[in-house]
């Protein structure tokens, strides 16, 4: 009975789980590019290490090591890979640090000082970033685990007391090695939880697309990592800005990602596009009114000839009035994605009327238009763009079959008017595109679009249009300039 209850509860939870409209997979092939930028950023961060002064006494010798600065970092071996569940692991082995510090030595009444170059060798770092979804649906680095160790240090002592320094070098360098070990992990913790999170803050979560519609890219759950990829499920839902709390139920097929050949894959279900079109429909954007000179001249003449019998019965003041052609979607358009291609189905009312000045308009006819558009998707930069093409078109009367027959001569000119006058306006808007949830400074290149039953996937490679350091510095929080946050975790537990 307990087992049955648990099974029922699991099915109930699964039945109410929200399906993603958009999925993104980052594969291990992207990590080499990410590692290149990440290591450059890490080098610059580690060079900000500030090591406390080392003061002490050994017999009659008093020493003070101060102004310790990291001058260079050489990474000879590094690896970046995914860990199952939610982690990204960076391992650095056999690296070296160049150091410069000021020495001060007092032996009885003799004093010696100056600057010394030193090196820390056999530097090993193992750090893992845990990725999760925050309460706002944004991906965050929620924790950083770290182990770091320095195997040995060497200092090129010289000057008056070179022999004395040689005697004390083991003691001094051991102390410096201990202090250096204590500083590496706090720097990495700050880089992950503060600086990398400022980069992730540039990923759009809930933002406006234009003056009418917004899009919600909230993560539905924590990112899931395997040994070869990182998968993220996004809501991927548009909404009218005037109805911020409105959402379209997602009953579409859940997109699936199986490929791993490219750096990144993005999948969109039919719901993604349906929510966009329903949002524009609810915002009142799917309508078009052409009056007077806006109606193509040849079409104006044809419409007046077609409805000549109705026009001549009107008063002379109305007969020569400007013609009005109005198209308005009667229901939200719907998207159908098949392996053969993507189509958009639109049903609209077409109203033809005369609009005499300072008088009510006189309707001549009302008909129904069914249109089918083909849609080709492309990724440019980080925007999903759409190119539409009118494929099928028909008009018919909702009053009688006889009137539908009378409308046949209007089919070709109305279709031409849509192709010449309406489709360019639609494509101007759809080609502007909508942003995909990627951080600032990263773009898609060399994309390939693949259609499936109910969803489409786009495989692409990544390109850093801006350096990681440049983007982080631009978006660095004002209170994050100090690399030693009070919330920093304990330093490395590695042996020194």
- pLDDT tens-digit readout, 282-293: 999 999 888 888
3-state DSSP call for residue 103?
Answer: strand
> What is the spatial distance between Cα 108 and Cα 155, in angstroms, rounded to a whole number?
24
Check residue 134 and give its pLDDT: 92
Mean pLDDT for 217-230 is 92
**Which H or E run contains 138?**
none
Check residue 159 and give its pLDDT: 58
Check residue 366 and give its pLDDT: 84
Span between the terminal Cα atoms of the chain, in Å: 57
DSSP E strand boundaries for 298-361? 323-329, 334-338, 341-354
On average, the pLDDT of the chain sits at 82
3-state DSSP call for residue 10?
Answer: helix
Q: Which of 296-310, 380-394, 434-448 has the lowest mean pLDDT?
A: 296-310
Q: Count other Cβ atoms within 10 Å, centred on residue 258.
A: 9
> What is the spatial distance between Cα 420 and Cα 418, in angstroms, rounded to a whole number?
6
* pTM of the full structure: 0.83
Backbone dihedral angles phi then psi of residue 143, each to the nearest 5 degrees? -160, 150
- Crossing angle for the helix pair 162-190 and 31-46, nearest 10 degrees? 130
> What is the spatial distance between Cα 155 and Cα 170, in angstroms, rounded to a whole number?
9
- Closest alpha carbon to 439 in 144, 129, 34: 34
Check residue 8 and give its pLDDT: 43
- Closest alpha carbon to 344 in 422, 410, 270, 401: 270
Check residue 329 and give its pLDDT: 93
Backbone dihedral angles phi then psi of residue 432, each to the nearest 5 degrees? -65, -35
The structure tokens listed for 415 are 């279709």
- Closest alpha carbon to 496 in 157, 187, 63, 183: 183
Check residue 264 and give its pLDDT: 94
Cβ-in-10-Å burial (0-12, 13-18, 19+) of 400 comes to exposed
Check residue 449 and give its pLDDT: 93
- Closest alpha carbon to 191 in 237, 148, 134: 148
- Crossing angle for the helix pair 297-306 and 408-417, nearest 10 degrees? 160
Backbone dihedral angles phi then psi of residue 377, each to the nearest 5 degrees? -100, 150
* Residue 114 zone, left/alpha/beta (φ > 0; ψ -120 to 50; rest): left
Residue 483: pLDDT above 70? Answer: no
Q: Do 350 and 366 contact (CB within 8 A), yes or no?
A: yes
Residue 24: pLDDT above 90? Answer: yes
- Closest alpha carbon to 468 in 143, 27, 45: 45
Q: Count other Cβ atoms within 10 Å, centred on residue 200.
A: 15
Query: For the CA atoms of the chain, what is the radius of gyration?
Result: 34
DSSP E strand boundaries for 134-185? 139-155
Residue 496: pLDDT above 70? Answer: no
> What is the spatial distance between Cα 398 and Cα 366, in angstroms, rounded to a whole number?
8
Check residue 469 and give its pLDDT: 81
Residue 488: pLDDT above 60? Answer: no
Q: Do 382 and 433 contact (CB within 8 A), yes or no?
A: no
Check residue 12 and give its pLDDT: 42
Percent of the chain at pLDDT > 90 equals 29
Give the contacts of 373 (CB within 8 A, at least 6 positions apart): 343, 344, 345, 346, 388, 389, 390, 391
Mean pLDDT for 58-66 is 74
Confidence band (pLDDT; 50, 70, 90) for 73?
A: confident
Highest-confidence range of 4-13, 65-74, 448-457, by mean pLDDT?
448-457
> What is the spatial distance between Cα 54 and Cα 296, in angstroms, rounded to a whole number?
85
Residue 118: pLDDT above 50? Answer: yes
Check residue 494 and give its pLDDT: 40
> What is the spatial distance between Cα 338 and Cα 302, in angstroms, rounded to a whole number?
38
Give the contacts of 427 (CB within 8 A, at least 6 positions apart): 387, 388
The structure tokens listed for 71 are 């001058």
> What is the spatial distance between Cα 460 and Cα 462, in angstroms, rounded to a whole number?
7
Check residue 4 and give its pLDDT: 45
The structure tokens listed for 65 are 């090591």
DSSP E strand boundaries for 425-464? 434-435, 442-451, 455-464
**Which H or E run contains 296?**
none
Q: Count other Cβ atoms within 10 Å, centred on residue 298.
A: 11
Backbone dihedral angles phi then psi of residue 175, each to the nearest 5 degrees? -65, -40
Check residue 322 and give its pLDDT: 87
Greatest pairwise CA separation for the chain in angstroms: 122
Check residue 5 and give its pLDDT: 47
Q: Which of 8-22, 229-243, 271-285, 290-304 has the lowest mean pLDDT?
A: 8-22
The structure tokens listed for 313 are 């019965």
Confidence band (pLDDT; 50, 70, 90) for 177?
A: confident
């Amino acid at each position: 009975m307990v087992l049955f209850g648990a099974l029922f509860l699991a099915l109930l939870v699964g039945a109410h789980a929200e399906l993603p409209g958009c999925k993104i997979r980052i594969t291990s092939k992207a990590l080499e590019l990410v590692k290149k930028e990440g290591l450059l950023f890490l080098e610059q961060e580690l060079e900000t290490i500030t090591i406390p002064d080392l003061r002490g006494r050994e017999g009659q010798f008093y020493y003070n090591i101060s102004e310790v600065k990291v001058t260079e970092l050489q990474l000879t071996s590094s690896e970046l890979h995914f860990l199952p569940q939610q982690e990204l692991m960076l391992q650095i082995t056999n690296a070296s640090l160049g150091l410069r510090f000021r020495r001060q030595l007092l032996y009885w009444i003799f004093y010696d000082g100056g600057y010394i170059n030193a090196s820390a060798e056999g530097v090993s770092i193992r750090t893992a970033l845990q990725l999760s979804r925050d309460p706002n649906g944004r991906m965050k680095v929620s924790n950083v685990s770290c182990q770091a160790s320095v195997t040995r240090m060497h200092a090129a002592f010289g000057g008056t007391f070179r022999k004395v320094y040689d005697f004390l070098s083991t003691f001094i360098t051991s102390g410096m090695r201990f202090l250096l070990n204590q500083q590496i992990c706090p720097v990495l913790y700050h880089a992950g939880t503060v600086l990398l999170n400022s980069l992730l803050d540039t990923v759009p979560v809930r933002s406006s697309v234009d003056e009418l519609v917004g899009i919600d890219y909230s993560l539905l759950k924590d990112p899931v990592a395997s040994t070869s990829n990182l998968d993220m499920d996004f809501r991927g839902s548009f909404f009218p800005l005037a109805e911020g709390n409105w959402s379209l139920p997602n009953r579409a097929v859940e997109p699936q990602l199986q490929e791993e050949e490219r750096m990144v894959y993005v999948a969109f279900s039919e719901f993604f596009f349906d929510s966009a079109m329903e949002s524009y429909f609810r915002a009142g954007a799917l309508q078009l009114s052409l009056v007077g000179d806006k109606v193509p001249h040849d079409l104006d003449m044809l419409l007046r000839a077609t409805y000549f019998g109705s026009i001549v019965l009107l008063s002379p003041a109305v007969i020569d009035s400007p013609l009005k052609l109005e198209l308005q979607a009667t229901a939200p358009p719907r998207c159908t994605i098949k392996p053969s291609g993507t189509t958009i189905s639109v049903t609209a009312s077409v109203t033809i009327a005369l609009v005499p000045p300072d008088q009510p308009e006189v309707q001549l006819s009302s008909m129904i238009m069914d249109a089918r558009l083909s849609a080709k998707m492309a990724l440019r930069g980080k925007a999903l763009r759409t190119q539409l093409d009118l494929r099928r078109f028909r008009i018919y009367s909702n009053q009688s079959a006889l009137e539908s027959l009378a409308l046949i001569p209007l089919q070709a000119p109305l279709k031409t008017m849509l192709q010449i006058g309406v489709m360019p306006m639609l494509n101007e808007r759809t080609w502007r595109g909508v942003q995909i949830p990627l951080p600032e400074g990263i773009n898609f290149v060399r994309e390939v679009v693949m259609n499936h039953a109910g969803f489409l996937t786009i495989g692409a490679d990544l390109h850093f249009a801006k350096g990681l350091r440049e983007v982080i510095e631009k978006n660095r929080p004002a209170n994050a300039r100090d690399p030693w946050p009070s919330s920093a975790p304990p330093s490395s537990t590695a042996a020194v």
